[in-house]
Copies of this chain bind each other. A is one copy, B any other.
Amino acid sequence: MTEAVLGRSARKRLTILSAGRDLFLSNGYQGTSVDQIAASAEVSKQTVYKHFGDKHELLLAIVNTALESTVTPFLERIRALADTADLEADLTALAADYLRAVLQEPVVQLRRLVVGEANRVPELAQLYYEHAPARTLAAFADCFSVLHDRGLLRVTESAVAAEHFAFLIVGRSIDQALFYGGPQVLAGIDVDGDVRAGVQVFLAAYQARKG
């Protein structure tokens, strides 16, 4: 097999992933057929099966690809917070980016799709949770543990502190966005004000007392 052939195969794979994502997000898992995906990607149904096995495996691959590109960079941001020289300012800036990120419409649509199929495709729901919320919470927990060791926070259970921080910042908005969509929620909130209020509550409970 030549490199040119490999390149075409990889391109076809990306085209199928993209066509599948658009159709699944618009029409749901049950409302989307492999025939439609093949037609939209301008490949044969056999090509879809060759690359992804079946519709179910294709959905898993789509979700995996989407999460890798959105979650992984954010985990780096959380790790960097452990080195902060100005906890309140850096925590507030990170929190604002976190809130804006979870309200991006493709993120909200992916959550809706996965939640809506959780009964019929439970391994998809598990894949999603482990790769997105669970990894994010674990990264916050590691970071808060370091900040405790540095004497900036006073945290007995870092996993619990991570949950408190995450849901003080994004809890209400991420929940509402499942029902109304991300852009409508984002348009109705004051990101900076909401984030400052959430950070204040977190620090009131967890900031190490001076002196």
A→B interface (CB under 8 Å): 26, 28, 30-31, 109, 111-120, 125-126, 128-129, 133, 137, 157, 160, 163-164, 166-168, 171-172, 174-176, 178-181, 194, 197-198, 200-202, 204-206
- Overall SS of chain A's interface: helix
Q: Please tell me if the beta carbons of B119 and A178 are within 8 angstroms of each other in the complex.
A: no
Give the Cβ gap from A109 to chain B, nearest Cβ, in Å. 8
Task: Verify B120–A112 contact, CB threshold 8 A.
Answer: no
Instruction: Name which residue of chain B comes closest to A181, CB basis.
Output: B118
Q: A116-B115, A167-B167, A205-B200 are in contact. Are A176 and B129 (CB under 8 A)?
A: yes
B-chain residues with CB within 8 Å of residue A204 when the two chains form the complex: 201, 204-205
Which B residues lie within 8 Å of A109 (CB)?
A: 119
CB-based contact A179/B26 at 8 Å: no
Contact flag A164-B30 (CB < 8 Å), given A125-B179, A178-B115: no
